[in-house]
Amino acid sequence: MSATSFKRRPGVRPAIAVTVGEPAGIGPEISLRAAWARRHEVNCVLLGDAAFLAMTAADIDPAIRISSLSLMAVRNGGLPHFGADRISVIDVPLSAHVVPGQLNKENGRAVLATLDAAIEGVRAGWFEAVVTAPLQKSTINDAGVKFSGHTEYFADQTATSQVVMMLAGPQALSGELSGKQLRVALATTHLPLKDVAAALSQDGLARILDIIDADLRAKFGLTAPRILVCGLNPHAGEGGYLGREEIELITPAIAAAQARGIDARGPYPADTLFQPKYLQDADCVLAMYHDQGLPVLKYATFGNGVNITLGLPLIRTSVDHGTALDLAAQGLGRADCGSMEQAISAALAMANNSLDNKK
Ligand SMILES: NC(=O)C1=CN([C@@H]2O[C@H](COP(=O)(O)OP(=O)(O)OC[C@H]3O[C@@H](n4cnc5c(N)ncnc54)[C@H](O)[C@@H]3O)[C@@H](O)[C@H]2O)C=CC1
Ligand SMILES: NCC(=O)COP(=O)(O)O
């Protein structure tokens, strides 16, 4: 997508907030590399410690120019629209020196502050969307803030009662899928496996199906999305002999969604659903829990997938991987920024589709 193809302000590069994530991980590097690679199409404004990012940028490529802005200056004067010869950084200072690969809880709250600044910036109209680099969930908790993920944090901060995590692969996993994009949404996100069954409810599943259907239409431009729903238990419960959630919760939620005009089908046994003959007719698979759906998606597309939060009043995408502390510890140049670039492209495409839908 080129700047001129962005529909809100034709000819002006759209601005997107990129939170750089855990400073000891690969987030700062992939944010800088992706922002620089895509600078002619999109103004990726990085939210993070400006001095640290300038130092990292100089080590990546001395040609990268950084312009540091204070949050207060942007609040007072708006976001300056520099040319594509530099990357803008809104300074959100860290508290402690960064040692790549080594977590430091002293920096946990500064990472959260970048998310707050991104949300503020979307509300203020500075940004079309937010793209988040990976953070270390445990470090935020170690810093004394209960935190289970961006997904839940963005929901809380925007007072959204239900959101849905969906990961999408790039086009076509293989020739057999003939151009279909694999998308996997999750009915539950970051919680212990032992708590998953209790977290499912008929009403909750019905709302999740509504959100997937609505966002695939509004933000992905699909006119009649088809959603295939996994069972929770082996063999989708084997007629009730291996669990009753399919009979008591999932099937009624699908029937209710169908009655509202949503093309939801299932529940299907999760172990056999992810094969081309089913996926080629599906726009999204709804998995019941994190490790039911994501290993399949990541096996197929790791490093090029995008994590999208559906149901939010703003557009938020992210990478399909974590902080990769092992790579960060080895120095710059090891991390692949393919998923970060995909996340930026997906955010722009979703922003454009949303504009179309508002007309
Ligand atoms: N959106 C986010 O903020 C996410 C954050 N995380 C967090 O990341 C932390 C570490 O998670 P892990 O399970 O270890 O997964 P991970 O994705 O960080 O690492 C798994 C493996 O993939 C490799 N890898 C990851 N990203 C790569 C890239 N861009 N290029 C090349 N290789 C790459 C790593 O070197 C490692 O071998 C956890 O705290 C988790 O909460 C995990 C997923 C998403
Ligand atoms: N496995 C996906 C993941 O952990 C991403 O979480 P979030 O921080 O995007 O909510």
pLDDT 10s digits, 79-98: 998 899 999 999 999 999 99
Band of pLDDT at residue 68, cut at 50, 70 and 90:
very high
Mean pLDDT confidence for 189-214: 97
59 & 200 share domain = no
- Tell me: the pLDDT tens digits for 293-346? 999 999 988 889 999 999 999 999 999 999 999 999 999 999 999 999 999 999
CATH number at residue 178: 3.40.718.10
120 & 145 share domain = yes
Query: Nearest bound ligand to CA 340?
Result: 1
54 & 180 share domain = no
106 & 70 share domain = yes
The reported pLDDT for the residue numbered 56 is 98
pTM for the full predicted model: 0.94
> Residue 97: CB partners within 8 Å, gap ≥ 6?
none
Q: Write down the residue that tokens 């509202």 correspond to.
A: 260
The reported pLDDT for the residue numbered 272 is 96
94 & 243 share domain = no
Helical H runs in the chain? 27-37, 50-60, 71-77, 108-123, 137-142, 150-157, 196-199, 202-218, 245, 251-259, 270-273, 276-279, 290-301, 325-330, 338-358
Angle, alpha carbons 210-213-219 (nearest 5°): 125
**Which residue minimizes the CA distance to atom 32 of ligand 1?**
335
Band of pLDDT at residue 244, cut at 50, 70 and 90:
very high
- Is 0.95 exceeded by the ipTM? yes
Query: Nearest bound ligand to CA 149?
Result: 2
The reported pLDDT for the residue numbered 227 is 98
90 & 27 share domain = yes
Across the beta sheet with 129-132, the strand order is 66-70, 87-91, 43-48, 15-19, 129-132, 316-319, 306-310, 164-171, 181-186, 284-287, 226-230, 263-268
> Residue 82: CB partners within 8 Å, gap ≥ 6?
43, 67, 88
Band of pLDDT at residue 352, cut at 50, 70 and 90:
confident
Among 266, 288, 306, the domain-final residue is 306
- Tell me: the pLDDT tens digits for 103-149? 999 999 999 999 999 999 999 999 999 999 999 999 999 999 999 99
**Which residue minimizes the CA distance to atom 6 of ligand 2?**
149
Q: Atom of ligand 1 at shortest distance to CA of 319?
A: 1
Query: Nearest bound ligand to CA 31?
Result: 1
The pair of three-digit structure tokens given for residue 353, joined into one six-digit string: 């589709």
- pLDDT value at 355 more than 90: no
Q: Atom of ligand 1 at shortest distance to CA of 340?
A: 29
Lowest-pLDDT range, 46-50, 197-201, 275-279? 275-279
Binding site membership of 317 for ligand 2 (Cβ less than 6 Å): no
289 & 227 share domain = yes
Band of pLDDT at residue 356, cut at 50, 70 and 90:
confident
Round to the nearest angstrom and report the end-to-end CA distance of the chain.
21
Band of pLDDT at residue 174, cut at 50, 70 and 90:
very low
Among 284, 306, 328, the domain-final residue is 306
d(CA 250, CA 248): 7
Band of pLDDT at residue 354, cut at 50, 70 and 90:
confident
- pLDDT value at 181 more than 70: yes
More confident position, 252 or 4:
252
Total domains in the chain come to: 2
Mean pLDDT confidence for 49-53: 98
Binding site membership of 150 for ligand 2 (Cβ less than 6 Å): yes
Closest CA to 98 of 87, 108, 112, 113: 108
Mean pLDDT confidence for 13-18: 95
Binding site membership of 27 for ligand 2 (Cβ less than 6 Å): no
**Which residue minimizes the CA distance to atom 13 of ligand 1?**
322
> Residue 101: CB partners within 8 Å, gap ≥ 6?
24, 25, 325, 326, 328, 329, 330
The reported pLDDT for the residue numbered 180 is 66
Closest CA to 165 of 128, 212, 201, 131: 212
60 & 168 share domain = no
The pair of three-digit structure tokens given for residue 144, joined into one six-digit string: 């004394």
Binding site membership of 323 for ligand 2 (Cβ less than 6 Å): no
Radius of gyration of the chain (CA): 20
Binding site membership of 251 for ligand 2 (Cβ less than 6 Å): no
Band of pLDDT at residue 171, cut at 50, 70 and 90:
low
276 & 137 share domain = no
- pLDDT value at 2 more than 90: no
d(CA 126, CA 123): 8
Among 306, 323, 348, the domain-final residue is 306
233 & 345 share domain = no
150 & 193 share domain = no
Sign, Cα dihedral of 109, 114, 119, 121 = positive
Residues 168-184 as b/e (b if ≥16 CB within 10 A, e otherwise) read bbbeebeeebeebbbbb
**Which residue minimizes the CA distance to atom 3 of ligand 2?**
149
Give the pairing of strands 129-132 and 66-70: unpaired
HSE, side-chain direction, 13 A CA sphere, residue 187: 32
120 & 167 share domain = no
Question: 224 lies in which domain range?
Answer: 162-306
Mean pLDDT confidence for 55-70: 97
Band of pLDDT at residue 358, cut at 50, 70 and 90:
low
Pocket of ligand 1 (CB under 6 A): 26, 132, 134-138, 150, 303, 307, 318-319, 321-324, 326-327, 335-336
Band of pLDDT at residue 11, cut at 50, 70 and 90:
confident
